[in-house]
Structure 1
Amino acid sequence: MKHVKWLSCCLLGAAVFAQAPPADTLVSPEVHPDRRVTFRLRAPKAAEAWLVMDYMPAGTRQPMTREGDIWSATMGPLEPGVYIYSFQVDGMTIADPVNPNVKLRARTSASMVEVPDTPPAIWEPRDVPHGTVEINWQKSKVINGETRWIWVYTPPGYERDPKRRYPVLYLFHGANDTAGGWTLAGHANFILDNLIAEKKAVPMILVMPFGHALPYGSSGTLTSNTDLYEKYVLQDVMPLVEARYHVAPGRENRAIAGLSMGGGQALTIGFRHLDLFSAIGAFSAAVPTEFEKEFTSLLADAKQVNARLKLLWFACGRQDSLFERSQKLADLLAASQIKHTFRPTEGAHVFKLWRRYLSEFAPLLFH
């Protein structure tokens, strides 16, 4: 009887497999030699379809045209870099169903396309020694026993010399992203691989925790999220990193940086703990609105801040809605005679810029 049941299961499995639909051969996205990109969607019953890309101004979208069952739109030529996009079909937003390059988020998801450069850009994989990216799982003592992931990059050759100690850059993502954002979309690992191979950056460890200490979309403010996240980084993340990895001791071997929400977190935590961090970076930062009020005493003591901070570097695109915050921060620091570098650029709130900012910031660290 057991043999009959086993045979029945096998036959049922074979029948299900035989009835599986054929693979969709649709190509999307297609990057053309002239850097134009065609996006396609099979949606035979749709009444309308639109393409939304990360560099577009808020509320704008590109209509897609229909030919048979296929909707398409061609954009560009586009500058080399990564682009995040999604489709809007009859009022519903979806990722590209045939593109495996998914942009993970804390809530919802989208798709990504890479437009390559010639020769390969600093954020593209090159034929150089590569470091390792590990995912560490940790039960947080600070955040209600929640098991959280921490992505950690170690540089090429890390495993060969256990006695060598490395400086650490704590690198934070933006709102509605995940701990994997700086690796999967930002290519931080390839950027460091290439900079190290060119001897433009000191070999370092990158630590990339999950930045939403409060659930994304909850009633908590960015300020309350940052306060809890600060405790999480200091009491959970840093002890794990310093126990598990070959970390060089001391504040001179620690830097903190981030993009958007993470840039605001880096500024806040960095200024609160000049005893722990010697360098701060902020990319398109959500600069805290109460920054001047909170750090009044530090702003009045430029001599102390300048003596402790080896580097205070921030950048933002002029087309970014957060640009005014960065400009006001630069003006405030200048008026307070605190040494800093503000790098205004062209561009919106996009990973294409944040990759560039990291590639400029990392070589300045740990000298």
Structure 2
Amino acid sequence: MKRFVLTLALLFSALQAQAADPAPAYPPHTIPNTLLRALPKNADGRTYQLHIHLPASFAKEPKRRYPVLYVTDGYWDFATIVSSYNNLAYDKVVPEFITVGLGYAGDNLDYGAMRNWELLPIRQNPLATTTGNADKFIASLEKDIFPLLEREYRADPAQRFLAGSSLGGLFTLHAMYTKPQLFQGYIAASPAIVVGGDWIIGQAKAYAASGKPIKARLYVTGAEAEWPAFLAGIKRYQALLPELKHPELVWQNRTIDGERHAGTKAESYTRGMRFVFEPLAPETGKSKD
């Protein structure tokens, strides 16, 4: 009996020791060649964080400058862009370039609410100061973010590109019509054309009436299975592009079959990168898309 009790005690002790042992700590998965830069609070009280991916040759070629693709909603879309970029760069259908995801510093943030401040070009109502600050965001890009990338990461100021989805796509089009000299290419994935009753279409028509050129490449997509009214707005803008006849703008439209609003991002960005970077690609003479 004593031996049985002793055996039970030893077994219980062993089980306690096993339970006390911490689970093995495995390193988190990280995306190679990436870093985060939290910026100081700017004049508008916004604290931005940059998700930065550097090309494979960055450390080996210290005198080389690189094109940059800036993408809105970096907390969501940065990883999608980078994974597609690595495949396209391997195939040499895009040049090596830096990717910068635009986001916010801090934890447990409400991205859905915060992005309305930057990405909406108009206020949702006249008193809503939490929306409609896209022009201030563009100014912050010019004053704070571009100089940082061009000073510390050898970004080429003559080769900037912009991408965004949904409200980010709307912001991308707004930036093109507001400051067309800032970027050389634009990817508007499922842009929120319907905001403000097709407000951006009015901006496009006004810009076209000026006769000013847009020296850039533009790729616009919609998702076949997204909300019908939302897709209808995108199609209205896509159908208008041939009529606008923006001098020097090279554009392409596409509807991503079978996808809904968020599911369209991967294909939209992949095909969009191929299109806007086509003139700089090492081996592709013509996009097959």
Q: Same fold (TM over 0.5)?
A: yes
Q: CA deviation at 1:224?
A: 0.9
Structure 1 unmatched runs, 5+: 1-14, 24-99, 102-129, 174-178
Q: CA deviation at 1:282?
A: 0.3
User: CA deviation digits over 1:255-296, x for unaligned, max 9?
Assistant: 111111111111111221111112111001112531133344
2:67 to 142, 151, 167: 167
Q: CA deviation at 1:249?
A: 2.8
2:182 alignment counterpart = 276
2:157 alignment counterpart = 249
Q: CA RMSD in A?
A: 3.1
Amino acid of the residue matched to residue 133 of structure 1? T
Counterpart of 2:268 in 1: which secondary structure? helix
1:207 alignment counterpart = 100
Maintained 8 Å contact 1:202/1:363: no
2:75 alignment counterpart = 180
Whether 1:152 and 2:52 are equivalent positions in the alignment is yes
Answer 1 or 2: which has greater helix percent.
2
Maintained 8 Å contact 1:258/1:266: yes
Structure 2 unmatched runs, 5+: 1-15, 105-110, 118-123, 280-289
Q: CA deviation at 1:216?
A: 5.4
2:235 to 327, 330, 340: 327
Q: CA deviation at 1:189?
A: 1.5
Q: CA deviation at 1:237?
A: 1.6
Tell me how many residue pairs correspond in the alignment.
234
**5 Å matches for 1:45-56?**
none
| Alpha carbons of structure 1 residues 285 and 133: separation in structure 2 relative to 1, 3 Å | same
Q: Output the TM-score relative to the length of structure 1.
A: 0.57
User: CA deviation digits over 1:32-52, x for unaligned, max 9?
Assistant: xxxxxxxxxxxxxxxxxxxxx
2:261 to 312, 332, 349: 349
1:263 to 156, 164, 169: 169
1:362 alignment counterpart = 273
User: CA deviation digits over 1:212-260, x for unaligned, max 9?
Assistant: 697357884786142332223222221221121111232xx11111111
Q: Output the TM-score relative to the length of structure 2.
A: 0.71
Q: CA deviation at 1:201?
A: 0.8
User: CA deviation digits over 1:98-119, x for unaligned, max 9?
Assistant: xx99xxxxxxxxxxxxxxxxxx
Identity between Structure 1 and Structure 2 (%)? 21
Maintained 8 Å contact 1:270/1:280: yes
2:7 alignment counterpart = none
Counterpart of 2:180 in 1: which secondary structure? coil
Counterpart of 1:268 in 2: which secondary structure? helix
2:146 to 209, 219, 238: 238
Q: CA deviation at 1:343?
A: 0.3
1:291 alignment counterpart = 200
- 1: CA distance between counterparts of 2:178 and 2:245? 19
Counterpart of 1:139 in 2: which secondary structure? coil
Answer 1 or 2: which has greater strand percent.
1
| Alpha carbons of structure 1 residues 223 and 280: separation in structure 2 relative to 1, 3 Å | farther
- 2: CA distance between counterparts of 1:293 and 1:240? 34
- 2: CA distance between counterparts of 1:273 and 1:206? 20
Q: CA deviation at 1:203?
A: 0.6
- 2: CA distance between counterparts of 1:222 and 1:258? 20
Maintained 8 Å contact 1:257/1:282: yes
Maintained 8 Å contact 2:116/2:132: no
- 2: CA distance between counterparts of 1:313 and 1:138? 30
- 1: CA distance between counterparts of 2:267 and 2:134? 25
- 2: CA distance between counterparts of 1:216 and 1:196? 30
